[in-house]
């Protein structure tokens, strides 16, 4: 028997969240707010916070000091968490505290809603060393919000810029490895255009197939750096990194654990150590720990994306097979082959020839069904598909996802669901069917899994939308196999699609926040209908 299917997150904080009721009309996204009461739909007992204005965009900022600084729905201990901030992000705040109950530094109102305590988890002092050490959060304007890499060889998580002696001590056969790197450096550091190189419309939709570099990224940039290659100020003098994560290490420690081969990591900076220390490039992970760049392989992720339908109706197919062809009415090859992963609008007509199923395109040509991944309209719409309610339709058999507003399809793409198809999610790696609501959203989240007999870790998976327990829709930066079941139960999306869907769904994650929890304050999550 296989282990219970899962794609659970390694939570960096404890969430007190429960799945919302499955059905019901979606709450609209919030906009044009003038007060926190209008923004948060506070209960009658809490309306005394309604006089506090929403801080403007250009207000002074509050900065988190942890990887998960909670945002609360009221300025007092015991209120509900509604989202969180991550170190590196900053959010507009009120000019002065709005209360100080159980918070010595005072509670500050945040934009567009919620409160944070100025203290151990956050600060209004933007010159605080930790804030200066982590000046940037994830780039939410891009499909990959961080630079990503895979671990090529088991590597220490360094807590200081290691000396030559430290490196020789903690890295087996290091000198041989460095000789190999010098020989194969160009190949090991090579990148191809990926998700962040595809031109996007202002709403995040891609309009073209393929990606191209407008400028070849430097080695520094491939590993998260800005090109300066300077050792960060907070690491000078062999200082140990600040512990903003969950690792345990004594003050004298040089490393905090090791990262296994094939693990995926997110990077925020890179630098080159001194000549005395091998003059080696190190990448800085999101939690500040250091990884030797020569033991990483930079990853740019899939450039695949779905399509806005812009008034087109279903059915529609996406060309899945690279050798797909089009045929005339006599089933002879007709004209140029369709572009791989292009959209083919269909009429709904079907014919069989020699046991092969063909579908007719709106270009009057025929296509083999197996060459496409076909999204079809449901025979009858679910009852909640009314007015402009947004919902997501996912077919496990066709490996397609469609975004709907009421009964109108708006966007279609290919996905990768659980690799065991329609099996029992309790016993196999299958995606659960049914109707759910998104109950948590995270700009990035760290996820663990088991593949065959080998464990691997995927740090900071982008655009995570949990809909039941540990099951989520999320970007997959580690494969380009969309249209084929292959996950442990989660719904894998190409990064461009994941970002588009993340911004299209609720609960909304406001600018400067890293995550949000559905509920009375943030509104209901978007409905997801998963079926064969």
Residues 473-487: tens digit of each pLDDT = 999 999 999 999 999
What are the start-end ranges of the E strands in 369-526? 372-375, 390-395, 400-405, 408-414, 434-437, 440-451, 454-468, 471-475, 491-493, 515-517
- Alpha helices (H) in 200-242, listed in sequence order: 219-222
Tell me the average pLDDT across 201-214: 91
Express as a percent the part of the chain with pLDDT over 90: 82
The answer to whether the beta carbons of residues 456 and 366 sit under 8 Å apart is: no
Measured between alpha carbons, how far apart are the two ends of the chain, in Å? 23
Confidence of residue 449 (pLDDT cuts 50, 70, 90): low
Using DSSP bridges, classify how beta strands 527-531 and 390-395 pair: parallel, antiparallel or unpaired.
parallel
Does the pLDDT at position 415 exceed 70? yes
Is 0.75 surpassed by the pTM of this model?
A: yes
The answer to whether the beta carbons of residues 362 and 349 sit under 8 Å apart is: no
Distance CA 110, CA 113 (A): 5
Q: In terms of residues, how long is the chain?
A: 532
Backbone angles phi, psi at 393, to 5 degrees: -115, 125
C-alpha distance from residue 131 to each of 124, 155, 436 (Å): 10, 27, 38
The answer to whether the beta carbons of residues 92 and 61 sit under 8 Å apart is: yes
C-alpha distance from residue 136 to each of 54, 63, 180, 187, 429 (Å): 24, 11, 34, 30, 37
More confident residue, 237 or 31: 237
> Where do the structural domains in the chain lie, given as residue ranges?
36-133, 147-299, 315-375
The per-residue pLDDT for 207 is: 85
315-375 adopts what CATH topology?
SH3 type barrels. (2.30.30)
Q: Is 487 helix (H, G, I), strand (E, B) or coil?
A: strand
The answer to whether the beta carbons of residues 420 and 430 sit under 8 Å apart is: yes
| Maximum separation of any 2 CA atoms in the chain, in Å | 80
Please state, as a whole number, how many other Cβ atoms lie within 10 Å of the Cβ of residue 356.
11
The answer to whether the beta carbons of residues 526 and 390 sit under 8 Å apart is: yes
Tokens 């997150």 found at: 9
Confidence of residue 447 (pLDDT cuts 50, 70, 90): confident
The per-residue pLDDT for 273 is: 97
Q: Which residues touch 380 (CB under 8 Å, ≥6 apart)? A: none
pLDDT tens-digit series, residues 355-385: 999 999 999 999 999 999 999 999 999 999 9
């Amino acid at each position: 028997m296989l282990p219970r299917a899962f794609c659970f997150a390694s939570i960096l904080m404890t969430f007190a969240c429960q799945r919302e009721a499955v059905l019901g009309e979606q709450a609209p996204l919030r906009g044009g707010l003038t007060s926190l009461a209008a923004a948060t739909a506070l209960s009658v007992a809490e309306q005394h916070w309604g006089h506090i204005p929403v801080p403007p965009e250009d207000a002074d900022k509050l900065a988190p000091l942890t990887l998960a600084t909670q945002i609360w729905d009221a300025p007092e201990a015991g209120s509900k968490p509604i989202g969180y901030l991550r170190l590196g992000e900053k959010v507009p705040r009120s000019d002065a505290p709005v209360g100080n109950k159980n918070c010595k530094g005072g509670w500050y109102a945040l934009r567009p809603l919620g409160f944070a305590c100025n203290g151990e988890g956050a600060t209004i002092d933007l010159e605080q060393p930790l804030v200066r050490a982590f000046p940037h959060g994830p780039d939410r304007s891009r499909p990959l919000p961080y630079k990503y890499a895979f671990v090529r060889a088991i590597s220490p998580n360094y807590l200081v810029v290691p000396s030559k002696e430290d490196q020789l001590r903690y890295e087996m056969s290091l000198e041989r490895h460095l000789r190999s790197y010098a020989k194969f450096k160009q190949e090991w550091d090579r990148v191809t255009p990926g998700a962040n190189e595809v031109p996007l419309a202002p709403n995040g939709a891609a309009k073209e197939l393929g990606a191209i570099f407008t400028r070849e990224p430097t080695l520094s940039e491939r590993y998260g750096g800005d090109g300066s290659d300077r050792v960060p100020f907070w690491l000078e003098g062999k200082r140990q990194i600040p512990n903003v994560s969950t690792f345990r290490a004594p003050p004298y420690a040089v490393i905090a654990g090791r990262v296994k081969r094939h693990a995926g990591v997110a990077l925020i900076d890179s630098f080159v150590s001194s000549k005395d220390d091998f003059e080696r490039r190190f990448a800085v992970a999101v939690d500040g720990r250091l990884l030797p760049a020569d033991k990483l392989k930079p990853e740019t992720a899939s450039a695949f994306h779905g399509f806005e339908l812009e008034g087109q109706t279903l059915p529609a197919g996406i060309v899945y097979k690279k050798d797909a062809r089009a045929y005339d009415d006599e089933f002879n090859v007709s004209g140029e082959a369709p572009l791989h992963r292009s959209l083919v609008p269909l009429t709904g007509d079907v014919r069989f020839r020699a046991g092969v199923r063909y579908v007719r395109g709106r270009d009057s040509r025929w296509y083999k069904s197996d060459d496409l991944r076909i999204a079809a309209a449901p025979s009858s719409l679910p009852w909640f598909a009314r007015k402009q309610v947004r919902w997501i339709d996912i077919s496990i058999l066709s490996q397609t996802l469609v975004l709907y507003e009421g009964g109108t399809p708006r966007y279609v793409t290919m996905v990768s669901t659980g690799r065991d198809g329609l099996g029992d999610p309790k016993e196999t790696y299958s995606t659960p069917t049914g109707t759910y609501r998104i109950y948590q959203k995270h700009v990035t989240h760290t996820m663990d899994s088991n593949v065959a007999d080998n464990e691997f870790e995927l740090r900071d998976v982008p655009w995570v939308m949990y809909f039941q327990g540990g099951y989520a829709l999320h970007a997959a930066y580690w494969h380009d196999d969309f249209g084929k079941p292959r996950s442990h139960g989660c719904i894998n999306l190409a990064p461009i699609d994941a970002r588009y869907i993340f911004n299209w769904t609720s609960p909304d994650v406001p600018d400067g926040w890293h995550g949000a929890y559905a509920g009375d304050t943030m509104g209901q999550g978007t409905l997801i209908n998963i079926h064969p």
